[in-house]
Chain A
Amino acid sequence: MGLSYAVRREFEYTLSPQDVISDPVRCRAYECDGLTGYRVIPDLVLLPRTAEQVASAVRVCAEHGIPFVARGAGTGLSGGALPVADGVVISLARLKRVLEVDPVNRRAVVEPGVTNLEITKAAAPHGLYYAPDPSSQQVCTIGGNVAENSGGAHCLKYGFTTNHVLSVEVVLADGSVVTLGSDTGEQLGPDLRGTFLGSEGTLGITTKITVRLLRTPESVRTLLADFPSIAAAGDVVSDVVAAGIVPAAVEMMDTLAIEAAEEAVHAGYTVGVPAALVVELDGPTEECDVQFEQVKQICERHGCTRLHIAGSPEERAAIWRGRKAAFAAVGRISPDYFVQDGVVPRTRLAEVLDRIAGMGADAGLRVANVFHAGDGNLHPLVLYSAAAGETERAEKLSGEIAELCVEMGGSLSGEHGIGTDKACSMPKMFTEDDLAVMRRVRGAFDPRGLCNPGKVLPTPRLCGERPGKYKPHPLEESGVIERL
């Protein structure tokens, strides 16, 4: 069908002709985000330059009932920015000004197209930084982080995007502009800021964000430790937590992930060991020293085979380079791979990883693991070869791993979001009533469903009448209702 010429002209009039892309070849650059398996070429791509233009463009959409999808850097891994057929993509890439860095009140006001790392760069001269640090922080935008409630390696101690955004200016689906939250984060009435954060672009488009900045810690201590088994490394994490230590980050990698990362960046990891743990502490020097000593002792107690302590900022950077390279590096040992993002309670990590290894063996596929061990957020990488016809098997295994996490009392997603990718798995985690209430919330923000439709919440059109796996309703468990 496609959008009419008149509508296109209206967008061109609202923005300016060069800020509206209608050439299908150029629109193709927007057909997918970081989850490249799903592709839809949008009818139009809009490139507004100001918040006012975003609101005007959304008003045109509202007037004509045109669905729209907001897009930042397109690094999302769940298809949250997948365009909608007969809809428009609204790119926030040109709203990239750091409007204010306020060192006295330790906050910054930025536009949504500013990258995560740019905020920290702008704050650094004042001894401040922006805490959430998704692996893609060099390119991902703060607007995307707001949509996804992004985490990162250091969120165990410092929290997620939702804990660091004080207020957001939002263009609602009818084109009206509201501010959610406040200068202090205090909100009068229900916490709409918190409801909006992590709603994956389905409740509105962010045009301005006020973030909290933290003081750069006085000390940072980082170690890399090898272990004879995943279980031993897992025990270290448990003992560190039991000792009352809240590390800034605890990351784990298994043999395959280490091998891939070493091949790619030669960061000094030991190839062949079953598990490597990165533990980082930060804070006042006196505290760091005391607790770092404790962590070293705990590592040794659990049979650590090598303990490498970063002696300089360069050595610390090398350890992190290895960890952060692991994802992309897997491409070196496998032609294709799927990334999962499930979360399990930390105490069940070893058990879950055992199960995943078994499932991989049964499917005849390798699974590499690199994950945030402190908060139980797994990133199993299912390795496969599309050329060898393994895609379907790999996709099935990948989905089963996510659902295993739910079964273990965890979640489908820790930081990548539900998006298009996992919308149809939502009934594994939520009851029909849970989802119905979420739909009512969505309806309150966007009654006509124009804002990023088809994401997060499953629809029959999207998922078919695929009944979810049985999960007892809370009322069933307490004996109020029965399932016959």
Chain B
Amino acid sequence: MNAPTDLRTLRTAVLDTSGRLAVAGAGTAAGWGGALEPVDAVLDTTGMRGVIAHNPGDMTVSVRAGTPLRELAAELAPHGQHVAFDAARVAGGATVGGLFATADAGPAALVHGSLRDLVIGVTLVLADGTVASSGGHVIKNVAGYDLAKLVHGSYGTLAVIAEVVLRLHPVPESTATLSVACTLPEAAELAAVVLGGPYEPAALEWAEGTLLIKVDGTERALPARVERLRAAVGGSTAEPDIWERHAALVRGADGRASIRVGVLPSRLPELLGALPRVSTTTAGLGTGVATVTVEPDAVAEAHRLVHEMGGTSALRARPAGTDAPAWGPPPSALGVLRAIKAELDPKGRFGPGRFAPWM
């Protein structure tokens, strides 16, 4: 186990080891993607933590990639700022680098997208020790290729993320959640009303018989907005901890496989209705992205069904001892993915197996 503490020691660790390497953060997603093949060493990034520079006036922060996002959130909170990102595993101590490398996202993606939309700069260490950066502390920047995008969703197979610069948003003054008890098809109809009206929801999720509509705003304006929304869709105000319960459902339960699926929002209810042997469902009705827990032997069928509907699917949790496939059919750009892997990591050192059987 190698435990670098910053860019310098990370680079040394990559150069001083030979053979195949796995990158490990807090371990909240260690079982995501393809099963890791045997490696010669593991790079533990959790020692690379802490803020490098927070510029409150510019609303940007750079951090070492091993920083748990919840720790960063605690540091930013006194400034009234946050990373507008709420993936379920943040509460479990997930690191900024790990969340980025696994392309995770939560309900806030409806407005703010995933971390790819919030990261404005990155510093990477390649398998040959090359250090490369792109972006910086300005939110608007089109100079050069955006190397950050390349490692978003790369599962540690292209480079090790050393440092990340994030765009920040103001923490809303006030926030409220309406909860409406309904079936998924009913929820889809209500979602259309919410999205078609002037309500500007901050999150819109159906989970286990309840539609959750979150609204962010100012203390003065929010009550009237919530009333307008209630008049349109009914329901009652939920306690804030309802989102913690939602996150727990997304994280899933031991012994079950968890899959993240994405499809045109209008087709999401149909897809979720067709998936076999589902035990829990959380569905982003505005984004078209849902997370379901299923029996491990139903995963392959789920991939197939999603693919037939033109969607995307990725295995999130793989119960120990099962060999549920991580991915469905490969994307059309598989050739480009392989070429990028060959350019950046020609010896195949990083994260072997993560994209099996594609590459």
List the interface of chain A (C-beta within 8 A of B).
Answer: 102, 104-106, 127, 148-149, 151, 155-156, 159-160, 162-163, 172, 176-180, 182-195, 197-199, 215, 217-218, 238, 241-242, 244-246, 283-287, 289-291, 343-347, 372, 375-377, 409-418, 422, 426, 429-431, 433-438, 440-445, 447, 456-457, 473-475, 478-480
Contacts and interface: CB of A to CB of B under 8 A. Distances in A.
Contact of B154 (A189, A441, A444): A189
B264 A441 contact: no
B140 A438 contact: no
Contact of A478 (B6, B57, B224): B6
Nearest to A343: B138
26 contacts: A102-B264, A151-B142, A162-B117, A179-B332, A184-B288, A188-B327, A191-B150, A192-B337, A193-B149, A195-B149, A215-B195, A215-B200, A241-B57, A244-B172, A287-B221, A287-B225, A343-B141, A345-B55, A345-B57, A345-B137, A414-B142, A431-B133, A441-B344, A444-B344, A473-B131, A474-B123
B57 A375 contact: no
B58 A347 contact: yes
B132 interface: yes
B144 A430 contact: yes
A446 B57 CA distance: 41
Nearest to A422: B143
A79 B225 CA distance: 47
Contacts of B12: 480
A283 to B, nearest CB: 6
A156 B170 CA distance: 13
A48 B245 CA distance: 54
B145 A438 contact: yes
Contacts of A244: 80, 170-173
Contact of B146 (A182, A195, A286, A344): A195
Contact of B221 (A286, A422, A434): A286
B263 A475 contact: no
B102 to A, nearest CB: 11
B130 interface: yes
Contacts of B149: 162, 190-195, 197
Interface in B115-141: 116-117, 123-124, 126, 130-134, 136-141
Contacts of A102: 264
Given A410-B136, A411-B141, A441-B340, A478 B8 contact: yes
B31 interface: no
Contact of A346 (B57, B151, B170): B57
Contacts, number: 284
Contacts of B312: 182, 184, 186-188
B169 A413 contact: no
Given A105-B265, A149-B142, 4 more contacts: A180-B333, A182-B312, A198-B145, A290-B220
Given A184-B263, A443-B343, A474-B7, A198 B142 contact: yes
Contact of A437 (B130, B155, B266): B130
Nearest to A344: B138
Contacts of A426: 143-144
A478 B52 CA distance: 13
Nearest to A149: B142
* A-B residue pairs, 6 tightest by C-beta: A194-B149, A244-B170, A218-B198, A286-B221, A184-B262, A444-B339
A183 B288 contact: yes
A415 B142 contact: yes
A440 B344 contact: yes
Contacts of A346: 57-58
A148 B140 CA distance: 12
B355 interface: yes
Given A434-B133, A437-B130, A160 B116 contact: no
B335 A176 contact: yes
A444 B333 contact: no
Most chain B CB neighbours (cut-off 10 Å) among A426, A436, A438: A438
Given A182-B262, A190-B153, A480 B138 contact: no
B47 interface: no
Contacts of B198: 215, 217-218, 284-285
Interface of B: 6-8, 11-12, 55, 57-60, 80, 103, 113, 116-117, 123-124, 126, 130-134, 136-155, 158, 169-173, 192, 195-196, 198-200, 217-218, 220-222, 224-225, 260, 262-266, 287-289, 310-314, 327, 331-333, 335-337, 339-340, 342-344, 355, 358
Contacts of B217: 284, 286-287
Contact of B147 (A149, A437, A444): A437
A187 B152 CA distance: 9
Given A347-B58, A429-B144, A474-B131, A441 B343 contact: yes
Contact of A445 (B124, B327, B336): B336
Contacts of A197: 146, 149
Most chain A CB neighbours (cut-off 10 Å) among B59, B198, B355: B198
A474 B133 contact: yes
B341 to A, nearest CB: 8
Most chain B CB neighbours (cut-off 10 Å) among A148, A156, A195, A479: A195
A284 B80 CA distance: 22
Contacts of B59: 241
Contacts of B266: 104-105
Nearest to A375: B140
A186 B262 contact: yes
A228 B76 CA distance: 34
Contact of A290 (B8, B172, B218, B344): B218
Contacts of B154: 189-190
A163 B149 CA distance: 12
Contacts of B260: 186
A344 B138 CA distance: 7
B142 A413 contact: yes
A186 B113 CA distance: 10
A32 to B, nearest CB: 20
Given A184-B311, A244-B173, A444-B339, A190 B221 contact: no
A477 B70 CA distance: 28
Contacts of B150: 190-192, 194-195, 441
A409 B59 CA distance: 14
Contacts of A192: 149-150, 333, 336-337
Contacts of B143: 411-413, 418, 422, 426, 429-430
Contact of B142 (A148, A410, A457): A148
A194 B136 contact: no
A159 B112 CA distance: 9
A186 B289 contact: yes
Most chain A CB neighbours (cut-off 10 Å) among B124, B217, B313: B217
A189 B142 contact: no
B145 A160 contact: no
A403 B140 CA distance: 16
Nearest to B314: A188
A104 B285 CA distance: 11
B173 A347 contact: no
Given A182-B311, A188-B314, A410 B170 contact: no
